[in-house]
Chains A and B, each alone.
Chain A
Amino acid sequence: MIHLACSYIPYEIPLAAGIPAARGIFEGPLPSMEGYLPRDFCPYARAFIRNYKDDTVVIAESCDAMRRVYDVLRYWNLARRVYFVDVPRTCNKDAVSFYAEELKRLAFRLIGSQKSLCQESKDLRKPQGLEELQELAELQGLSERLMLSMATMNEIRKEVSQVFRLVSKGQLSAAKGIEIAVGVNQALANPGLIEEPSAFVPGGILTQRIKEMTSKATSETDPPNRSKRRIPVGVTGTCLLDPSLIECIENAGLDVVFIDSCIPLRTLDFIIDIKEKTDPFHVLAEAYLSKVPCPRMFKGTARIEHLYKLASDHGVKGLIYSAPKFCDQAYYDFIEIKHGLREMGMGYVLLLESDYGVGRTGQVLTRVEAFREILESV
């Protein structure tokens, strides 16, 4: 199994290779892993440190904390293989080409690791036999499989988008929406599905199962009982650690109508324009670099404009920024969002420093309720 650390590591690649893979989603750091990273460190990075035994982990250059996770996992032999994807911070032609090469290298290694051709080394920048792996990949028809995987992931992403359309209309709670998205992530890690021959094919077993799952989850859930008009808010941030914060916001009497976060949604919130007769890695690279901007990217005002549009389209009165404690990307992004949205005339952005289970604390409930009281008085 492959454990992915970032929304810029495409699901399409392990899917095309027929390897179960999922974004790491945790309940919190493991006490037994204390000491590998300092306590004043991103909770997600700390939770990511665990013993992966024979599994493969793929880390991206998403932030300082994850760079150190990459080092810790290798130095202390906490996984069989640890790969690194260097993700550009901009989206120009050069960046796309560079990223396409990175993704290609990742794909070849994953295929090679399946076939035990890839030498396991701690510093996996130039594994032996990369050309050999490339040949193998071509023999296996990797390019074609990748094109089909992109189409399959598009179908899956459409399903998730539909779920969140229900959330924005108040027909499904946001917490339930998150649960469904996490379920999709789990389906992508299910060997029983992914190793099936038709898994990566559009309309194949994977898509079918996910459609069944989302349909069942949305039909079984009663729409939230919203007898009184509730104030709509959006939630944004780097990564939403767990659903407790969303539940807390909803329990405090606010309607969460959109969530902009990398777990699990920024991976699942865009459609790839699949261009035939183009290098599929290039298509993948361009699509991922162009998707909804993550706080780590340097794409000018794109992120503020995106959030403002989301807020306007959903009629939100306020935005809640969920910043994992000690997440520098989140802190700086919050500053930019707060200033930027203020200039655009959007009033209220509440910063909530988060940790696992933070939504179950009285401190956060008080802040969210106070925020609701401010919005009620506007």
Chain B
Amino acid sequence: MAKTVDTRQSPRKVAGETRRIKIIRTLARKKWVHNVAGLVIKRMEKRGATEYRIAAIRAFADDLRSAYRKEKPCIYTSAFVPNELVYGLGGVPFLPEAASGFAAAFGFARESLSASESLWYPPDLCSFHRAGVGASVIGLAPQPDAVVVSSQLCDGGKRSLYQVSKAFDCPFYILDVPYTESPESLDRLARQIEEVAEGLEREVPGLSGDHMDEAIANSNSARSHYLDLCDLRRYIPSPWRGREALNYVVMFLWSWGSPWLTRFYKALKEHSESIIQQGEYPVKNERFRLAWSNLRPYYTTRLFDYLEDELGASIAFEEFSYMYWEPLDANDPYLSLAKKIMSNPGWGPIERRLEVIGKLVDEFSIDGVVQFAQWGCRQYNGAVSILSDYLRRKGIPFLSLAGDGVDERNSGEAQSLTRLGAFLELIESRDIRSSR
């Protein structure tokens, strides 16, 4: 067949490039904007803004400034790539899947999703991935210098970022994670991590492994505070609002290896201690304790007001926040990171996830488990029948709450509120509150 360019397939204009997107895109790359942001954060600090929030804002402001201003190489990573690797090479990570949550929270999801629609992404794909691609393509996200994905936890993560790497014509690396942990599979993964690190150093100017020790030390230090925080979250009532915890899952995915994470978890730990000491619990009349699986709607929603404030239901802990790896070893960083990756309970046979959920139920005095059934999330939603049965055998009610974390056009708030209300009535009627 002759190579002819068909004029009917006219050059595609990517949708979503509205005027305000163009403005934000331009401003995000201006030095003065980041300077002003820095001043605003300082002012917030002086005025006594909550320490852990400041730490989180600073972590992102720092990384985004470095990325947008090209002060450091920007490496796109999928959600479960250990970013100690990126920080260790002197780069800054950017997670398009997490950026989708930000886009939804700050009102840019529609443009991001429109962009992906104009690139033929079907609406049945997970909106975290669609919006991530869309935000990258319309320039809301900083431009990547390379893309690194891991094959876990889902097809969408690696495939969407592969498309992004092609859109920006930048190097793409995949960590092909074995499905089962064994000495051989760990070695194989460690070799791959090393090859990726070498590849990045070779292909991306400005990266070098000189920062690896520091990144690992940062990670271990943050981990230690994090475990303390998890202990505090066992308190009844819960010292931290679940809706906020689900927002700050982004730190858990993004910032391991960053110098800011230690400060964040330390401050959050201290904040929680203070709450407990003063007895000023966020959900004052805590009647129910829930465990939450998967993410949440990141656009404005009444769900959490209803749960926490009207019904007195705390989200005591969330599956995504479970600490699943051991401290890293700076003497063998690649093997350590391989162990971290392979310890993720969401990868491998379902029994690994069930074990974790069982633990959470016991350790956090859980009355019921809610899984947010994100539209298009095959790997989580596919396990609903198993999870439901497993919890039923433990005597714990389970709710699969259909929704969409980024695309609010795809959610029925009224239905969700009804389901949550009915679920809590069920818990109440069964009187299975764990002893306090």
Interface residues of A (CB under 8 A from B): 35-38, 40-42, 45, 61, 63-65, 67-68, 70-72, 74-75, 84, 86, 88-90, 94-95, 98, 101, 122-123, 125-126, 296, 298, 311-312, 315-317, 323, 325-326, 328-329, 331-332, 334-336, 338-339, 342, 344-348, 351, 353, 378
- The 8 Å CB contact of A71, one of B174, B176, B349, is B349
Would you call A41 and B383 a contact (CB within 8 A)?
no
Query: Bound complex: CA of A336 vs CA of B159, how far in Å?
Result: 10
Would you call B8 and A347 a contact (CB within 8 A)?
yes
Would you call B375 and A41 a contact (CB within 8 A)?
no
- Nearest A residue to B381 via CB reads A38
Query: Bound complex: CA of A248 vs CA of B198, how far in Å?
Result: 51
The answer, yes or no, to whether B434 is at the interface (CB within 8 Å) is: no
Q: Looking at A94, A95, A126, which has the most chain B CB atoms within 10 Å of its CB?
A: A94
The answer, yes or no, to whether B3 is at the interface (CB within 8 Å) is: yes
Query: Bound complex: CA of A351 vs CA of B191, how far in Å?
Result: 39
The answer, yes or no, to whether B169 is at the interface (CB within 8 Å) is: no
Sorted from nearest, which 7 A-B pairs have the closest CB atoms? Answer: A68-B382, A71-B350, A347-B6, A332-B159, A345-B3, A64-B379, A64-B378
- Nearest B residue to A126 via CB reads B182
The answer, yes or no, to whether B386 is at the interface (CB within 8 Å) is: yes
The answer, yes or no, to whether B162 is at the interface (CB within 8 Å) is: yes
Nearest-CB distance from A355 to chain B (Å)?
Answer: 13
Query: For B191, what are the chain A residues with a Cβ–Cβ distance below 8 Å?
Result: 94
The answer, yes or no, to whether B203 is at the interface (CB within 8 Å) is: no
Nearest-CB distance from A317 to chain B (Å)?
Answer: 8
- The 8 Å CB contact of B180, one of A41, A86, A94, A95, is A86
- Nearest A residue to B6 via CB reads A347
Query: Bound complex: CA of A72 vs CA of B184, how far in Å?
Result: 27
Nearest-CB distance from A320 to chain B (Å)?
Answer: 15
Query: Bound complex: CA of A331 vs CA of B376, how far in Å?
Result: 12
Would you call B351 and A312 a contact (CB within 8 A)?
no
20 A-B pairs with CB atoms under 8 Å apart are: A38-B373, A64-B154, A68-B379, A68-B383, A71-B383, A71-B386, A84-B179, A84-B180, A86-B180, A98-B178, A123-B349, A298-B176, A317-B1, A326-B124, A328-B126, A328-B159, A329-B159, A331-B122, A331-B125, A348-B6
Query: Bound complex: CA of A332 vs CA of B154, how far in Å?
Result: 13
Query: For A344, what are the chain B residues with a Cβ–Cβ distance below 8 Å?
Result: 3
Query: For B180, what are the chain A residues with a Cβ–Cβ distance below 8 Å?
Result: 84, 86, 125
Query: For A123, what are the chain B residues with a Cβ–Cβ distance below 8 Å?
Result: 349, 351
Would you call B6 and A328 a contact (CB within 8 A)?
no
Query: For B122, what are the chain A residues with a Cβ–Cβ distance below 8 Å?
Result: 323, 331, 351, 353
Query: For B379, what are the chain A residues with a Cβ–Cβ distance below 8 Å?
Result: 64, 67-68
Nearest-CB distance from B221 to chain A (Å)?
Answer: 33
Query: For B88, what are the chain A residues with a Cβ–Cβ distance below 8 Å?
Result: none
Nearest-CB distance from B15 to chain A (Å)?
Answer: 15
Would you call B179 and A40 a contact (CB within 8 A)?
no
Nearest-CB distance from B156 to chain A (Å)?
Answer: 6
Query: For A67, what are the chain B residues with a Cβ–Cβ distance below 8 Å?
Result: 179, 379, 382
Query: Bound complex: CA of A331 vs CA of B350, how far in Å?
Result: 25
Would you call B385 and A72 a contact (CB within 8 A)?
yes
Would you call B383 and A347 a contact (CB within 8 A)?
no
- The 8 Å CB contact of A41, one of B3, B158, B378, B386, is B378
Contacting residues of chain B (366-407) with chain A, CB-CB under 8 angstroms:
373, 375-376, 378-379, 381-386, 389
The answer, yes or no, to whether B326 is at the interface (CB within 8 Å) is: no
B252-283 near A? 1/0 per residue, CB < 8 Å: 00000000000000000000000000000000
B188-211 near A? 1/0 per residue, CB < 8 Å: 100110000000000000000000
The answer, yes or no, to whether B119 is at the interface (CB within 8 Å) is: yes
Would you call B154 and A94 a contact (CB within 8 A)?
no
Query: For B185, what are the chain A residues with a Cβ–Cβ distance below 8 Å?
Result: 98
The answer, yes or no, to whether B120 is at the interface (CB within 8 Å) is: yes
Interface size on B, residues (CB 8 A): 51
Query: For B192, what are the chain A residues with a Cβ–Cβ distance below 8 Å?
Result: 94
Would you call B381 and A41 a contact (CB within 8 A)?
yes
Nearest-CB distance from A229 to chain B (Å)?
Answer: 16
- Nearest B residue to A37 via CB reads B382
Query: Bound complex: CA of A316 vs CA of B386, how far in Å?
Result: 46
Query: For A42, what are the chain B residues with a Cβ–Cβ distance below 8 Å?
Result: 378
Would you call B1 and A325 a contact (CB within 8 A)?
no
Contacting residues of chain B (132-182) with chain A, CB-CB under 8 angstroms:
151, 154-156, 158-160, 162-163, 166, 174, 176, 178-180, 182
The answer, yes or no, to whether B9 is at the interface (CB within 8 Å) is: yes
Would you call B120 and A338 a contact (CB within 8 A)?
yes
Query: For B182, what are the chain A residues with a Cβ–Cβ distance below 8 Å?
Result: 125-126
Query: Bound complex: CA of A328 vs CA of B376, how far in Å?
Result: 8
The answer, yes or no, to whether B4 is at the interface (CB within 8 Å) is: yes
Query: Bound complex: CA of A323 vs CA of B124, how far in Å?
Result: 12
- Nearest B residue to A336 via CB reads B163
Would you call B382 and A64 a contact (CB within 8 A)?
yes
- Nearest B residue to A38 via CB reads B381
Query: For B9, what are the chain A residues with a Cβ–Cβ distance below 8 Å?
Result: 342, 347
Q: Looking at A36, A311, A328, which has the most chain B CB atoms within 10 Å of its CB?
A: A328
Query: Bound complex: CA of A101 vs CA of B185, how far in Å?
Result: 11
Query: For A378, what are the chain B residues with a Cβ–Cβ distance below 8 Å?
Result: 6
Given A94-B192, A332-B159, 8 other A-B residues pairs in contact with their CB atoms under 8 A = A38-B384, A41-B382, A65-B378, A331-B124, A332-B155, A345-B2, A345-B6, A347-B9
Query: For A89, what are the chain B residues with a Cβ–Cβ distance below 8 Å?
Result: 151, 174, 176
The answer, yes or no, to whether B5 is at the interface (CB within 8 Å) is: yes
- The 8 Å CB contact of A325, one of B124, B158, B176, B385, is B124
Nearest-CB distance from A296 to chain B (Å)?
Answer: 8
Query: For B378, what are the chain A residues with a Cβ–Cβ distance below 8 Å?
Result: 41-42, 63-65, 68, 326, 328
Would you call B349 and A63 a contact (CB within 8 A)?
no
Query: Bound complex: CA of A345 vs CA of B2, how far in Å?
Result: 8
Nearest-CB distance from B77 to chain A (Å)?
Answer: 16
- The 8 Å CB contact of A40, one of B155, B160, B375, is B375
The answer, yes or no, to whether B235 is at the interface (CB within 8 Å) is: no
Query: Bound complex: CA of A68 vs CA of B380, how far in Å?
Result: 9
- The 8 Å CB contact of A35, one of B8, B121, B188, B385, is B385
- Nearest A residue to B133 via CB reads A335
> Contacts A68-B378, A345-B4, A346-B1 given: A328-B174 contact, CB under 8 Å?
no
Query: For A70, what are the chain B residues with a Cβ–Cβ distance below 8 Å?
Result: 349
Query: For B162, what are the chain A residues with a Cβ–Cβ distance below 8 Å?
Result: 298, 332
Nearest-CB distance from B341 to chain A (Å)?
Answer: 14
Query: Bound complex: CA of A213 vs CA of B260, how far in Å?
Result: 69
- Nearest B residue to A35 via CB reads B385
Nearest-CB distance from A338 to chain B (Å)?
Answer: 6
Would you call A335 and B121 a contact (CB within 8 A)?
yes
Query: Bound complex: CA of A331 vs CA of B125, how far in Å?
Result: 8
Nearest-CB distance from B204 to chain A (Å)?
Answer: 19
Query: For B166, what are the chain A residues with a Cβ–Cβ distance below 8 Å?
Result: 336, 339
Query: Bound complex: CA of A328 vs CA of B163, how far in Å?
Result: 13
- Nearest A residue to B9 via CB reads A342
Would you call A328 and B155 a contact (CB within 8 A)?
yes
Would you call B163 and A95 a contact (CB within 8 A)?
no
B102-142 near A? 1/0 per residue, CB < 8 Å: 00000000000000000111101110000000000000000
